[in-house]
Amino acid sequence: MSVLPSSLRQPSALPGFGLALGVTLAALGLIVLIPLTALVLRAASIGPAEFFKIASDPRTIAALRLSFGTALVAALVNTVFGLLIAWVLVRYRFPGRRLIDAAVDLPFALPTAVAGISMAAIYAPNGPIGSIAQSLGFKIAYTPAGIVVALVFIGLPFVVRTVQPVLEEVETDIEEASALLGASRLRTVFQVVLPHVYPALLTGFALAFARGVGEYGSVIFIAGNIPLVSEIAPLLIVIKLEEFDYGGATVIATLMLAISFAMLFLINAIQSWSRTKHGNV
Partner 1 sequence: MAMSDRVLPLAHTPERANSETALTKVILIGLAVLFLVAILFLPLVTVFIEALRKGWGTLFESFGDPDTLAAIRLTLLVAAIAVPFNAAIGLAASWAIAKFEFRGKNLLLTLIDLPFSISPVISGLVYVLLFGAQGWLGPWLQAHDIQIIFAVPGIVLATVLVTFPFVARELIPLMQSQGTSEEEAALLLGASGWHTFFKVTLPNVKWALLYGVLLCNARAMGEFGAVSVVSGHIRGLTNTMPLHIEILYNEYNFVGAFAVASLLAGLALFTLLAKTVLEWRFAGEIAATARRH
Partner 2 sequence: MRLITRRSIALGAAALFLSFGATQALADRTLLNVSYDPTREFYKEFNAAFAADWKARTGETITIEQSHGGSGKQARAVIDGLQADVVTLALAGDIDQIANKTGKLPKDWAAKLPHNSAPYTSTIVFLVRKGNPKGIKDWGDLVKEGVQVITPNPKTSGGARWNYLAAWAYAAKQLGGDETKVKEWIADLYRNVPVLDTGARGSTTTFAQRGIGDVLISWENEAFLVQKEFGADNFDIVVPSLSILAEPPVAVVTGNAKAKNNLDVAEAYLKFLYSPEGQKLAARNFFRPVDPSSADPADLARFPKVELVSVDKDFGGWAKAQKDFFADGAIFDQIYRPTN
Q: Say whether residue 242 binds partner 2 (CB under 8 A).
A: yes
Q: Say whether residue 76 binds partner 1 (CB under 8 A).
A: yes
**Residue 66 or 208 having the CB closest to partner 2:** 66
3-state SS record for 177-227 = HHHHCCCCHHHHHHHHHHHHHHHHHHHHHHHHHHHHHHCCCCHHHHHCCCC
Supply angle C-alpha 150, 154, 155, rounded to 5.
115
Q: Say whether residue 197 binds partner 2 (CB under 8 A).
A: no
Interaction residues for partner 1, span 132-161 (CB under 8 A) = 149, 152-153, 156-158, 161
| Residue 146 contacts which entry, partner 2, partner 1, none (Cβ below 5-8 A, type-dependent) | none
Q: Say whether residue 90 binds partner 1 (CB under 8 A).
A: no
| Residue 63 contacts which entry, partner 1, partner 2, none (Cβ below 5-8 A, type-dependent) | none
- Applying CB under 8 A, which of residues 50, 59, 238, 245 lies at the interface with partner 1? 238
Interaction residues for partner 1, span 190-229 (CB under 8 A) = 196, 199-200, 203, 206-207, 210-211, 213-217
- Applying CB under 8 A, which of residues 170, 239, 251, 253 lies at the interface with partner 2? 239
Beta-carbon contacts of residue 100 (< 8 Å; ≥ 6 apart): 85, 89
Interface mask toward partner 2 for 108-147; x: CB under 8 A: ------------xx--xxx--------------xx-----
Beta-carbon contacts of residue 80 (< 8 Å; ≥ 6 apart): none
> What is the nearest approach in angstroms of partner 1 to the Cβ of residue 160?
10
- The answer to whether the CB of 142 falls within 8 A of the CB of 224 is yes
Q: Say whether residue 20 binds partner 1 (CB under 8 A).
A: yes
**Residue 133 or 238 having the CB closest to partner 2:** 238
Neighbouring C-beta atoms of residue 225, cutoff 10 Å = 15
CA atoms within 13 A on the CB side of 198: 20
- Residue count of the chain, please give it: 281
| Residue 242 contacts which entry, partner 1, partner 2, none (Cβ below 5-8 A, type-dependent) | partner 2
Interface mask toward partner 1 for 44-63; x: CB under 8 A: --------------------
- Applying CB under 8 A, which of residues 3, 65, 106, 228 lies at the interface with partner 1? 106
> What is the nearest approach in angstroms of partner 1 to the Cβ of residue 275?
7
With the C-alpha atoms ordered 89, 94, 98, 99, is the resulting torsion angle positive or negative? negative
218: closest CA among 81, 108, 103, 133?
108
| Residue 126 contacts which entry, partner 2, partner 1, none (Cβ below 5-8 A, type-dependent) | partner 2
Interaction residues for partner 2, span 79-98 (CB under 8 A) = none
With the C-alpha atoms ordered 38, 44, 50, 56, is the resulting torsion angle positive or negative? positive
Given its phi and psi angles, is residue 9 left (phi above 0), alpha (psi -120 to 50 degrees) or beta?
Answer: beta
- The answer to whether the CB of 138 falls within 8 A of the CB of 179 is no
DSSP classification of residue 143: S
In the complex, which residues of this chain contact partner 2 (CB under 8 A)?
19, 58-59, 62, 120-121, 124-126, 141-142, 220-221, 224-228, 231, 235, 238-245, 248
